Amino acid sequence: MATTMRLAIAGATGRMGRALIEAIRADASLALVAALEVPGSPALGRAAGDAGQVAITADVPAALAQSDALIDFTRPEGTLAHLAACVSAGRAIVIGTTGFTPAQLAQIDAAAKRIPVAMAANFAIGVNVFYQLAESAARILGTDFDIEIIEAHHRHKVDAPSGTALRLGERVAAARGQDLAGHAVFARHGDTGERPAGAIGFHALRGGDIVGEHTILFAGAGERLELTVRSASRTTYAQGALRAAKFLRGKAPGRYGMEQVLGLS
């Protein structure tokens, strides 16, 4: 019988951190052994989660020493610091952070040559099926159908468009033989002129406590196809991230996506 997998959570008091902690405690094959927050956080020393037995700490090396893997849904700078610590400790990492620059992504790719890294713009299983459906539709419909991507999130989200929306754009662009960078249009204002052929539009909505909603619209002459996925709880993201952590166990160094985790490719 496989031994219990020991996990550390970065950003333990954040929305995703709390969801991950509760999901770990509901899974008998997993154990929360470390919960991390930034130095100076008022949460340091407190119990992680409701009635937890693990105290929140800022000591990353100590946390990794007792863990099999780290799950990180924080901010790019913090994630890269945790990534470097994982490389030093020889620990796997699951990265759910978005908003990385190309240079930062290159750092992640370099680290993935030394440790196993699971990284996705969105870990929700339904969202990853949504990606596949949208990709198939884009390939079949081609450039005769215009593409618009609309996403909505809570008022506290700091990046726009969402990482999920951008990844969706990348996949549908590739399915049509396009490069997203040369065809993306981010919102519109004023006298924009006629819509360029092959453009892929993005629209970001922010408000209230919306967990996450994504719609892709394929608009053709005389008909319109829309695909939508809505997340009602961060539990969906947490369950996918835990599935990714389990997938990394025993894996060789490399960068893995949810396509590999779910067996979609």
Q: pLDDT grade, residue 92 (50/70/90)?
A: very high
CA distances from 186 to 21, 61, 112, 165, 198 (A): 35, 41, 31, 11, 14
Confidence of residue 143 (pLDDT cuts 50, 70, 90): very high
Average pLDDT on 78-105 reads 96
Q: What is the rounded CA–CA span in Å between residue 119 and residue 132?
A: 17
DSSP per-residue codes, 114-135: TSEEEE-S---HHHHHHHHHHH
Annotated catalytic residues are 153, 157
Percent of the chain having pLDDT more than 70?
A: 98
pLDDT for 187 equals: 87
- Mean pLDDT across the chain: 95
Q: Which of 120, 67, 139 is nearest to 260 (CA)?
A: 120
Region 101-119 average pLDDT = 97
Instruction: Give the model's pLDDT for residue 256.
Output: 98
Give pLDDT, residue 223. 97
Q: In the chain, where does DSSP find H-type helix?
A: 15-25, 60-65, 76-89, 102-111, 125-141, 163-175, 235-248, 258-261
Q: What pLDDT, on the 0 to 100 scale, is given for residue 51?
A: 57
Assigned token pair, 130: 């949504």
Check whether 177 has a pLDDT greater than 80: yes
Q: Residue 92 in contact with residue 31, Cβ under 8 Å?
A: no
pLDDT at 50: 67
User: Among candidates 129, 143, 164, which has minimal Cα distance to 265?
Assistant: 129
Amino acid 121: pLDDT: 84
Query: Angle at Cα 34 formed by Cα 28 and Cα 39, nearest 5°?
Result: 155
Confidence check: pLDDT of 1 > 70: no
Query: How long a stretch of residues is the chain?
Result: 265
Q: Is the pLDDT of residue 224 over 80?
A: yes
Residue linked to tokens 């956080």: 41
Short-list 175, 117, 184, 174, CA closest to 148: 184
Count of CB atoms situated within 10 Å of the CB of 160: 17
Q: Torsion over CA of 7, 102, 130 and 125, rounded to 10 degrees?
A: 0
- Over residues 232-259, the mean pLDDT reads 94
